[in-house]
Amino acid sequence: MAKLYFRYGAMNSGKSTSLLQAAYNYEERGQHVLLAKPAIDTKGASQIDSRLGMTREVDFLIGAEDDARALFAERNEGRDIACLLIDEAQFLTAEQVDDLFRIAVEDGIPVIAYGIRNDFLTHAFPGSARLLAIAHSLEELKTICRCGRKAVFNGRVVGGRFVFDGDQVAIDEGADGSAAPELTTYESLCGRCYLEESGGRLG
Ligand SMILES: [Zn+2]
């Protein structure tokens, strides 16, 4: 039986690199894959960008209201797709994760979803919560904190300082030309360093 896989990790744990490598491995064997990601992630528009510099266009974007299984079925029509690979899966809705589960179980196509487990306030993203609940296989992609421990959280840094208030999604904050946008970045942190930065606050 085909399975739904969730490969999760903190920011900078190499998820996109791992996804592109998985696509390459299939294609090296002469098999076809489809790549997709939620449309909410505007930072790379319709591309998957790995930190190592590899870039690839997705085959389709999944909008917030879209039926992911129907989108997949359109593109799978008449082709022999061996695997569906999803980047930034944390931004999927719970219903779309259920669609992925059906693609695996009922349509017989393995689905490998890559994503971040929790947001900058340590809460699960909707897509990740559902994936953690129903994926057949969970695999953690590890990265290390500045102190050398395993990073499990994603601290949000605005203007060079950690912040612990704001919306869950802050991609391209200020990109609409609003006054004095400050660059939002993230740093992967272990539990101890997160608590030190947050003053002991979790969520
Ligand atoms: Zn640390």
Sheet with strand 4-8: strands edge to edge: 60-62, 32-38, 81-86, 111-115, 4-8, 137-140
pLDDT digits (tens, 9 = 90+) for 145-161: 999 999 999 999 998 99
Chain centroid to Cα 191, Å, comes to 21
Distance 43 CA to ligand 1 centre (A): 27
The set of residues, in sequence order, having a beta carbon less than 8 Å from that of 52 and lying 6+ positions away, is 17
* Mean pLDDT value across residues 15-23: 95
Predicted model pTM = 0.91
* pLDDT grade for 122, boundaries at 50, 70 and 90: very high
Distance 122 CA to ligand 1 centre (A): 15
pLDDT digits (tens, 9 = 90+) for 52-67: 888 999 999 999 999 9
52 compared with 23, residue with greater pLDDT: 23
- In this prediction, residue 45 carries a pLDDT of 78
- In this prediction, residue 142 carries a pLDDT of 95
How far is residue 134 from each of residues 41, 57, 203, measured CA to CA in Å? Answer: 23, 28, 24
| Residue 41: pLDDT over 70 | no
pLDDT digits (tens, 9 = 90+) for 103-121: 999 999 999 999 999 999 9
* Mean pLDDT value across residues 68-88: 95
Lowest mean pLDDT among 6-10, 13-17, 51-55, 122-126: 51-55
**Considering the chain, what is the average pLDDT of its residues?**
92
| Residue 43: pLDDT over 60 | no
- In this prediction, residue 174 carries a pLDDT of 47
Distance 188 CA to ligand 1 centre (A): 9
**Could you give the CA distance from residue 185 to residue 158 in angstroms, rounded to a whole number?**
7
Distance 134 CA to ligand 1 centre (A): 30
pLDDT digits (tens, 9 = 90+) for 158-185: 989 999 999 988 855 444 545 456 788 9
| Residue 20: pLDDT over 90 | yes
**Could you give the CA distance from residue 124 to residue 71 in angstroms, rounded to a whole number?**
26
Catalytic residues: 88
